[in-house]
Amino acid sequence: MLAAVPTVAVIGVLMGGVAQGAVPVSMAISGQQFKIAADKLDGTGFSQYAGESKDADGKSRPVAIANIKDATLHNLCQSVKVPGMPLGLLISAGTNPKNPVKATDLQIGMSDLRGTAQFNQIRIGVDASTVKTKAHGSKGDFAMDSDAITIDDLKQVSTSTSAAVFKLTDLHLKISDGTECF
């Protein structure tokens, strides 16, 4: 019983810290498609190439893998839906323009991406094994990289996301009726 008091206190403090963006979390989701939307993504150190991810049944499917070394996301929304049921999870963060979500070493496996993008110092068509980011793809695949990337009105369907550090400011996590970000 004694154990409950400090545990709950620590959880409370951490949760508060996470919500403030003071305590970074690491995040890894995969196995099921989910949607990500953001008003704006700013990033440096971008690359993208082909890869594959395994779905819940272990079947591999092709995805485009995007890496961003440092990313800032405004008004981030993430949603997962349980297939065939009116049940899902909806996460929003970075709603305050002055306090956006920050992620480092972000890697996203995606199957669909929409928006309006601007790249600086971009190279398209380079070999996936020669991209400038730390992570890279396999030799012989079409890839692109850029020093900076900005995507407005980002809409994305992903199968996996991971980030070494994820500052989810103003985190709002809720069980939804299956409603998604878009």
Give residues 113-152 in contact with other proteins (rule: CB under 8 A).
Answer: 113-130, 134-143, 146
172 touches other proteins by CB under 8 A: yes
Smallest separation (angstroms) from other proteins to the CB of 114: 4
Cβ 117 to other proteins shortest distance, Å = 4
* 57: Cβ contacts below 8 Å, ≥ 6 apart: none
Q: Closest CB to other proteins among 44 and 54? A: 54
Token pair, residue 44, equals: 């440096």
Residues 11-30 that bind other proteins (CB under 8 A): 11-16, 18-19, 23-30
Q: How far is the CB of 59 from other proteins (least distance, A)?
A: 11
Q: Give 150: exposed, middle or buried? Use CB within 10 Å, 0-12, 13-18, 19+.
A: middle
* Cα-based distances in Å from 158 to 77, 79, 101, 150: 13, 10, 18, 18
20 phi, psi to nearest 5 deg: -80, -15
Select the residue interacting with other proteins from 46, 92, 100, 167 (CB under 8 A).
Answer: 92
Q: How far apart are the first and last CA of the chain?
A: 45
- Rounded to a whole number of angstroms, the minimum distance from the CB of residue 86 to other proteins is 9
Nearer to other proteins, 70 or 123 (CB): 123
User: For residues 109 and 101, what is the distance between their CA atoms, to the nearest angstrom?
Assistant: 19
Binding to other proteins (CB under 8 A) within 57-76 occurs at 60-65
